[in-house]
Structure 1
Amino acid sequence: MSRVQPSPVALIGDVVASRSVKDRRGLHRAVEAALAETNDRVDHVEPLEITVGDEFQGVYPHLGAALEAALRTRLALRPSAESRYGLGRGATTTLDKARGIKDGPAWWAAREAIVEVERQAERGALALVHTAYRLSEDERDDHGVVHAVNAALHCQDHMVGSLSERSGRLLRGLLDGMTQRELATTEGITPSAVSQRVRADGLAVIVRSHELLRRLP
């Protein structure tokens, strides 16, 4: 019996408080570089592209890839800027290919998700939660996957948002498969110092969480 192919996942991201950034040109270059890096590393249906202002979007074949894209882009942009993400599963369509105008239930769900992230940011206790996942009305969630994914994202986002600049770089290296000894050489610190940061900042926990989430269909 053939398995039903899951619907794609649309991702909408934007830069938090971008209007307060003085070097707007530098920010734009940083966003372009972060998106290019993510596109090189994560399988996609449509690559991440800047749309309007500091907003960007892409489409992924499965949820795990979309979650990986969100995490990698957030890390690539820090510490230059903080960013938030809305992920939506459902059908997608292109209304105007030349202008990059997209439409469909997946995009509506992704928009609802990023709006929810903005609302959560107004609450101090959830200020570091920057990613949310929604299903379109046509999709079913018989096993509560959406709630489970958002619970994991709350924890992962809070941990990532609490990292120092150096710990953020170490996390990026770990996600790319670098060893702690290689990271120590790159950072100019001892392997013991790297190990201490990995334990104290929960970097191994974030990596393990990421490995599990990226397997989601």
Structure 2
Amino acid sequence: MGSRRIADRAAAHHALAAALREVTAGAVDPPAFTAGDEFQGSYPTVGAAIDAALTIRLAVAPDVDVRFGIGWGDVTVLDPATGIQDGPGWWAAREAIEWTASAQRQSGLAAVRTAFRGPGRGDADAINAALLCRDYLLGSLDDRSLRIVKALLAGQTKKDIAAAEGISASAVSQRAGRAGLDVIVQASRYLSRLR
């Protein structure tokens, strides 16, 4: 988001490229740039796609902000040389990212970064409700809380995080509870299990 206003666009591109490489394992079609700063990829489950989106977002935060449209459905590669795709899954993802961009213009939804479209799925509204809440919590975090939630999602203990941050384990626990970091971690675990 706002990539044209980033002072060091090359550095931002390299950071995002590195983040994309972090989420290639398990991808059906590993995420790759398509045009400019846009990228796309495919995963075997909705949960894997949601997890990859969060991993990318947190890998470049707070310096680069990213929005995601996640779609469910078949995708056909029209041109293997250029990677041009089509199909219900591609169009669902396009609709989701367009909705995300539009929603961000509303003051109450300014923190929205991720949306899901899944024609024919009965759980699409529930998935979007969870994504809205998670995005709101992530959007309210300061830099330290972002580092802590990244570490928690990576499986680090609060004791180890405290040592890295130079604060007490009690301070990490209090922040995790007060800022909703434990909620973000648990919600992310539930979302990653979606089929």
Name the amino acid aligned to 2:109: L
Counterpart pick for 1:67 among 17, 29, 50: 50
Do residues 163 (structure 1) and 147 (structure 2) align?
A: no
Check whether the contact 1:88–1:133 (CA below 8 A) recurs between aligned residues: yes
Counterpart pick for 2:86 among 103, 122, 125: 103
Name the amino acid aligned to 1:114: I
Check whether the contact 1:86–1:132 (CA below 8 A) recurs between aligned residues: yes
Name the amino acid aligned to 2:11: G
Name the amino acid aligned to 1:129: V
Range with greater deviation from structure 2 (145-154 or 100-109): 100-109
Query: Partner of 1:193 in structure 2?
Result: 171
Check whether the contact 1:30–1:80 (CA below 8 A) recurs between aligned residues: no
Structure 2: 5+ residue runs without aligned partners? none
Check whether the contact 1:87–1:133 (CA below 8 A) recurs between aligned residues: yes
Query: Partner of 2:21 in structure 1?
Result: 36
Structure 1: 5+ residue runs without aligned partners? 1-15
> How far 1:87 moved relative to its partner?
0.6
Counterpart pick for 1:45 among 15, 21, 28: 28
Query: Partner of 2:191 in structure 1?
Result: 213
Q: Using the alignment, how far apart are the partners of 1:71 and 1:201 within structure 2?
A: 18
SS in 2 for 1:163: coil
Name the amino acid aligned to 2:56: T
SS in 2 for 1:177: coil
> How far 1:162 moved relative to its partner?
1.0
Question: Identity over the aligned pairs, expressed in percent?
Answer: 48
TM-score by length of 2: 0.96
> How far 1:39 moved relative to its partner?
2.5
Give per-residue Cα distances to partners, 1:95-130, cap 9 Å, x unaligned. 111212112111111000000001101101100011
Name the amino acid aligned to 2:152: L
5 Å matches for 1:3-18? Answer: 16-18=1-3
TM-score by length of 1: 0.87
Q: Larger RCO: Structure 1 or Structure 2 (Cα < 8 Å, ≥ 6 residues apart)?
A: 1
Give per-residue Cα distances to partners, 1:63-100, cap 9 Å, x unaligned. 11011011111111101111110011111111111212
Moved over 4 A (4+): none
> How far 1:188 moved relative to its partner?
2.2
